[in-house]
Amino acid sequence: MKMGARIWMWLGTLLYLLVVMGMVSSSRRSEPCQDVRVVVVDSSDNYLLDENVLLSAIYEEFGSLKSQPMSAIDLDALERFVRLQPAVREVEVYQGEQGRLWVEVWQRMPILRVFTSSGESFYLDREASVVPLSSRFAARVLVANGRVEEHPAIGQKLASPAQGQEPSLLWRLYELASLVDGDPFWKAQLEQVYVDEQGRWELVPRVGLHTVMLGQPQELERKLARLRLFYQEAMPKVGWNRYKEIDLTYEDQVVGRLRE
Amino acid at 54: L
- pLDDT for the residue numbered 135: 79
Q: Per-residue b/e over 154-165, b at no fewer than 16 CB within 10 Å?
A: eeeebeeeeeee
Are residues 231 and 162 both part of a single domain? yes
φ/ψ of 246, rounded to 5, equals -120, 120
Q: Of 79, 107, 135, which residue sits at a domain end? A: 107
Q: Are residues 45 and 173 in the same domain?
A: no
Q: Which residues of the chain have pLDDT under 50?
A: 19-20, 22-27
What is the per-residue pLDDT for 220?
94
pLDDT of residue 26: 45
Nearest to 113 by CA among 104, 105, 122: 122
Same domain, 130 and 221: yes
The CATH number linked to 247 is 3.40.50
Looking at the structure, do residues 98 and 122 belong to the same domain, yes or no?
A: no
Q: What is the pLDDT of residue 34?
A: 93
- Give residue 23's pLDDT: 46
Residue 60 to residues 65, 78, 134, 240: CA-CA distances in angstroms? Answer: 10, 12, 19, 53
Residue 252 lies in a domain: yes
pTM above 0.75, yes or no: yes
User: Are residue 76 and residue 196 in the same domain, yes or no?
Assistant: no
CA 158 from centroid of its chain's CA atoms: 14
User: What is the domain count for the chain?
Assistant: 2
Residue 2 lies in a domain: no
Which of 86, 107, 128 is the C-terminal boundary of a domain? Answer: 107
Domain boundary among 51, 76, 107: 107
- The CATH number of whichever domain residue 40 belongs to comes to 3.10.20.310
Task: Evaluate whether residue 44 is within a structural domain.
Answer: yes
Nearest residue to 55 via CA among 97, 105, 108, 125: 105
User: Where in the sequence is the domain holding 186, given as residue range(s)?
Assistant: 110-258
Domain-located, residue 254: yes
